């Protein structure tokens, strides 16, 4: 978040139940970016990635203990392990990877598009190169969050203009070149400035964080 410039870690006594969450620790990213926006991890939790709108870069961190962002575990990987997205997006807000870390996707508020990058080494942002973009301006002019379903055949975008979760269907997994749009789901009743989005492992729960209420809102999906 913008205010503390930290990654805040919470422990959930019941899996994927945000009502059972308690704050455990935090990790400052202020030395890299004072407006951190998006966060992602590699599959085993030994790497963390932050994107921010000050440096307009993806920053990579090494975690000695998986998914532990305490100061004793998390370390900035160094200037060689960061990647600028300024040529494609000057106000990046969200990021995610494909399942094996060979593709990275960045969303931003200035160009209203999802940018795709190829990584020659899995989850190593220093090896990233730009591939293509996908415009979402017809659906959302202030996009902030992006994520995929497990097999990469769907991706989802949140934003502060329409206050909706936009769902896109992909013909090929993690390939933005062929898609269809819909359905959508409004979250305005909970937060009119939705930002981050995530799902539980089997896709039966969705989580949307927002600027307006400073909450993580949990939703149940029957399908």
CA distances 143 to 29, 151, 158, 162, 195, Å, are: 23, 23, 6, 9, 8
Exposure string of 39-66, with b = 16+ CB inside 10 Å and e = fewer, is: bbbbeeebbbbbbbbebbbbbbbebeee
Per-residue tens of pLDDT for the chain, all 223 residues:
888 999 999 999 999 999 999 999 999 999 999 999 999 999 999 999 999 999 999 999 999 999 999 999 999 998 888 999 999 999 999 999 999 999 999 999 998 999 999 999 999 999 999 999 999 999 999 899 999 999 999 999 998 888 999 999 999 999 998 889 989 999 999 999 999 999 999 999 999 999 899 999 999 999 9
**pTM of whole model > 0.85?**
yes
């Amino acid at each position: 978040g913008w205010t503390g410039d930290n990654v805040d870690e919470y422990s959930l006594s019941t899996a994927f139940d945000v009502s059972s969450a308690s704050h455990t620790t935090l990790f400052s990213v202020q030395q890299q970016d004072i407006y951190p926006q998006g966060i992602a991890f590699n599959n085993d939790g030994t790497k963390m990635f932050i994107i921010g709108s000050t440096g307009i870069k993806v920053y990579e961190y090494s975690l000695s203990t998986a998914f532990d962002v305490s100061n004793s575990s998390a370390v900035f990987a160094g200037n060689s392990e960061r990647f600028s997205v300024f040529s494609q997006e000057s106000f990046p807000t969200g990021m995610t990877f494909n399942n094996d870390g060979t593709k990275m996707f960045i969303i931003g508020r200035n160009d209203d598009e999802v940018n795709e990058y190829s990584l020659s080494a899995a989850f190593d942002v220093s090896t990233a190169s730009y591939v293509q973009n996908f415009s979402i301006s017809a659906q959302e002019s202030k996009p902030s969050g992006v994520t995929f379903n497990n097999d990469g055949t769907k991706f989802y975008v949140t934003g502060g203009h329409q206050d909706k979760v936009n769902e896109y269907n992909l013909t090929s997994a993690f390939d933005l070149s062929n898609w269809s749009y819909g359905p959508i789901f409004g979250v305005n009743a909970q937060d009119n400035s939705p930002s981050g989005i995530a799902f539980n492992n089997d896709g039966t729960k969705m989580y949307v964080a927002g600027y307006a209420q400073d909450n993580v809102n949990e939703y149940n999906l029957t399908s």
